[in-house]
Amino acid sequence: MNMAAAQAKSPCPGCGGLFPDTDAPGSAHAYLGASHGCWAVYCDILAKEYGEYKYPEVHRLTVDSYAAQHPGTPSRQSIQSVAGHLISLYLVLERGMNAKRATAAIRKAIEQSHHFMWLPPPPSLGALTVLDVVGAKNIDEHTSRVQQWARSVWETWTPHHQTIQKWAER
């Protein structure tokens, strides 16, 4: 393999971040629209949260931000996933709910998932991606970066905030 091929990067279909090309076909996840390279970086972040950071409160925002930034294509699973994660972003960022309560609220909302519909994703899903989180040097920096990422992702979904709020309050 030549040096240029080793450094070739392609945009992730979800977040738009540039990640190393891989030979793996299709998406890295069954219904999230993520490239293999992007998914690998996300998994590295999760490993750090589970291991080194001992499952921090900000983990809820990590998962929600990633899923909302990689909505995939319309399907029952992706509609339910995006709705649940956007509800959680709303509850944490706008209502100040802690992660435990937001997770419980998602479970309750999913019981009403027949009300959910496909929300056309915005043209840009945020200026920040997993690439802006992965290099954090400690838990404080990590937390700050995840919070900024979550806010960036949430703001991109502004055209749908009213719908998400209604789902959350059901």
> Does a structural domain hold residue 22?
no
Length of the chain: 170
> Does a structural domain hold residue 87?
yes
What pLDDT is attached to residue 113? 83
What pLDDT is attached to residue 4? 47
What pLDDT is attached to residue 123? 93
The domain in which residue 162 lies consists of 28-169
Average pLDDT on 69-75 reads 96
> Does a structural domain hold residue 9?
no
> Does a structural domain hold residue 13?
no
d(CA 133, CA 11): 17
Instruction: Determine contact, residues 49/56, Cβ cutoff 8 Å.
Output: yes
> Does a structural domain hold residue 7?
no
Average pLDDT on 19-47 reads 85
> Does a structural domain hold residue 92?
yes
pTM of the predicted model, to two decimals? 0.92
Quick check: 22 pLDDT over 90? no
> Does a structural domain hold residue 23?
no
Q: What are 109-163's pLDDT values in tens digits?
A: 889 888 899 999 999 999 999 999 999 999 999 999 999 999 999 999 999 999 9
Both ends of the chain: CA-CA distance in Å? 55
Mean pLDDT of the chain: 92
Q: What are 93-108's pLDDT values in tens digits?
A: 999 999 999 999 999 9
Quick check: 8 pLDDT over 90? no
Please give the tally of structural domains in the chain: 1
3-state SS class at 97: coil
